[in-house]
């Protein structure tokens, strides 16, 4: 059995999935505002499948997108973590390890995504030994792009791409790619 993922920050804990996470996660993924930069809200069954996929990735890769909660109250906020994207069609920059997050509305604007993401970046570079971590989102998702910049990632517009799982004419098809390599990250830690 894979060891529970546990990363701690000043205010947060990132941990493995538990059965009790399904209800709050399903509510979050059904919220049209939370899902506005995705093709649509998720059904309960789709949310269950997403958790199952994350658990399988944890078993296979040793990491995945995991729940994040507050230390103070153990409130479920959403997920943050690292993942190896696995789409039926390849991304233009595969193979890669992605950092990502999705938080419920009441957790927005408090710095939680950046705080947890920075812990995952440290884990990725120092524990796993990754050479690069990427993040990508729809080009109009400025809130996530601000987090990407805040955690030290940079974007080259030449890397922008059409997401292979969306029709080219879809409003969210155009995606931006942010990158952070271990050398750049290490220089900033000095």
CATH assignment of the domain containing 134: 3.40.630.30
Q: In the prediction, which pLDDT does 4 show? A: 75
Indicate if the pLDDT at residue 2 is higher than 60: no
Burial of residue 88 (CB within 10 Å: 0-12, 13-18, 19+) is exposed
pLDDT bracket for residue 69 (50, 70, 90): very high
Indicate if the pLDDT at residue 174 is higher than 70: yes
Please give the model's pTM, rounded to 2 decimal places. Answer: 0.94
Indicate if the pLDDT at residue 176 is higher than 70: yes
Is 1 among the domain residues?
A: no
pLDDT bracket for residue 132 (50, 70, 90): very high
Domain range holding 167? Answer: 6-189
Indicate if the pLDDT at residue 153 is higher than 80: yes
Output the CA–CA distances (angstroms, integers) from residue 131 to 55, 58, 82, 110, 179, in the order listed: 24, 20, 13, 29, 11
Helix pair 44-61, 22-29: axis angle to 10 deg:
120
Is 97 among the domain residues?
A: yes
Is 138 among the domain residues?
A: yes
Query: Number of structural domains, the chain?
Result: 1
Is 131 among the domain residues?
A: yes
Q: In the prediction, which pLDDT does 1 show? A: 34
Q: In the prediction, which pLDDT does 190 show? A: 76
Is 88 among the domain residues?
A: yes
What integer best gives the mean pLDDT of the chain?
95
Average pLDDT rounded to a whole number, residues 103-110? 97
Is 91 among the domain residues?
A: yes
Is 11 among the domain residues?
A: yes
* Count of alpha carbons within 13 angstroms of residue 24, beta-carbon side: 20
């Amino acid at each position: 059995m894979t060891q529970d993922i546990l990363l701690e920050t000043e205010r947060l804990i990132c941990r493995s999935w538990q059965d009790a996470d399904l209800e709050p996660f399903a509510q979050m993924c059904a919220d049209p505002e939370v899902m506005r930069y995705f093709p649509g809200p998720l059904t309960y069954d789709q949310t269950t499948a997403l958790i199952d996929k994350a658990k399988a990735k944890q078993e296979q890769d040793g990491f995945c997108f995991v729940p994040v909660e507050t230390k103070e109250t153990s409130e479920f906020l959403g997920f943050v973590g690292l993942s190896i994207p696995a789409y039926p069609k390849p991304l233009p920059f595969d193979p890669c390890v992605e950092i990502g997050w999705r938080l419920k509305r009441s957790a927005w604007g408090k710095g939680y995504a950046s705080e947890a993401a920075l812990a995952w970046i440290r884990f990725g570079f120092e524990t796993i030994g990754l050479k690069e971590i990427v993040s990508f989102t729809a080009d109009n998702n400025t809130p996530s792009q601000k987090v990407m910049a805040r955690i030290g990632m940079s974007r080259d517009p030449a890397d922008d791409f059409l997401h292979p799982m969306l029709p080219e004419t879809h409003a969210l098809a155009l995606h931006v790619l942010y990158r952070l390599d271990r050398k750049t990250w290490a220089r900033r830690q000095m």
